[in-house]
Amino acid sequence: MVSSSELLNMCGIAGYLSAQLLIDEDRARLNAMTFAIKNRGPDSEGHWLDAEAGIAIGHRRLAILDLSSTGHQPMVSASGRYVIAFNGEIYNYLDLRGELEGCLHSSTSSLAGRTEIGWRGHTDTEILLAGFEVWGIQRMVERCIGMFAFAVWDKQTCTLTLGRDRMGEKPLYYGWQGKGQDASFLFASELKALKAHPVFDAAIDRNALCLFLRHNYIPSPYSIYQGISKLEAGCLLTLSLAQPEPTIVRYWSASAVAMAGCATSFTGTPEQAVDALEVMLTSAVRQQMIADVPLGAFLSGGVDSSTVVALMQAQSVRPVKTYTIGFKEDGYNEAVHARAVAKHLDTEHTELYVSPQQALDVIPLLPTLYCEPFSDSSQIPTFLVAQLARQHVTVALSGDAGDELFCGYNRYLLASKLWAKFSLLPVASRSIAARGLTAFTPERLNKLLWSVQDLLPISLRQASLGDKLHRAASVLASADVDALYLGLVSHWDDPASVVIGGQERLTLLTGNVPKLKGLDDIQRMMAMDMLTYLPDDILVKVDRACMGVSLEGRVPFLDYRVVEFAWTLPQSMKLRDGVGKWVLRQVLYRYVPEKLLERPKMGFGVPIGEWLRGPLKNWAEELLDEARLRREGFFYPAPIRQKWAEHLSGSRNWQYHLWDVLMFQAWLEDNH
What is the C-alpha to C-alpha distance for residues 584 and 121, in angstroms, rounded to an integer?
Answer: 38
Contact of 586 with 303, CB cutoff 8 Å: no
For residues 556-593, b (16+ Cβ closer than 10 Å) or e, as one string?
bbbbbebbbbbbbbbbebbbeeeebbbbbbbbbbebbe
Q: Which DSSP category does 579 fall into?
A: B
Q: Which amino acid is at 502?
A: G
Q: Which DSSP category does 453 fall into?
A: G
Q: Which DSSP category does 439 fall into?
A: S
CB atoms within 10 A of CB 469: 18
Kind plus residue range of the DSSP H or E element containing 14: strand 10-18
Contact of 13 with 57, CB cutoff 8 Å: yes
Q: Is 546 a catalytic residue?
A: no
Q: Which DSSP category does 117 fall into?
A: G
Contacts (Cβ under 8 Å, ≥6 apart) of 659: 216, 375, 377, 608, 612
What is the C-alpha to C-alpha distance for residues 514 and 463, in angstroms, rounded to an integer?
Answer: 37
Which of the residues 11, 210, 371, 407 is marked catalytic? 11
Q: Which long-range contacts (CB under 8 A, 24 or more apart) does 649-656 make?
A: 650/613, 651/442, 651/443, 651/446, 652/442, 652/443, 652/464, 652/467, 653/463, 653/464, 653/467, 653/609, 655/377, 655/608, 655/609, 655/612, 656/216, 656/375, 656/377, 656/491, 656/608
> Strand, helix or coil at 423?
coil
Nearest to 171 by CA among 239, 119, 235, 227: 235
Helix intervals (H) in 239-378: 254-263, 270-288, 303-314, 335-345, 356-360, 366-369
Contact of 555 with 147, CB cutoff 8 Å: yes
What is the C-alpha to C-alpha distance for residues 86 and 664, in angstroms, rounded to an integer?
Answer: 30
Find the farthest-apart pair of alpha carbons in the chain and give their distance in angstroms, rounded: 83
Counting runs of H as helices and runs of E as strands, what totals does the chain give?
29, 17
Residues labelled catalytic = 11
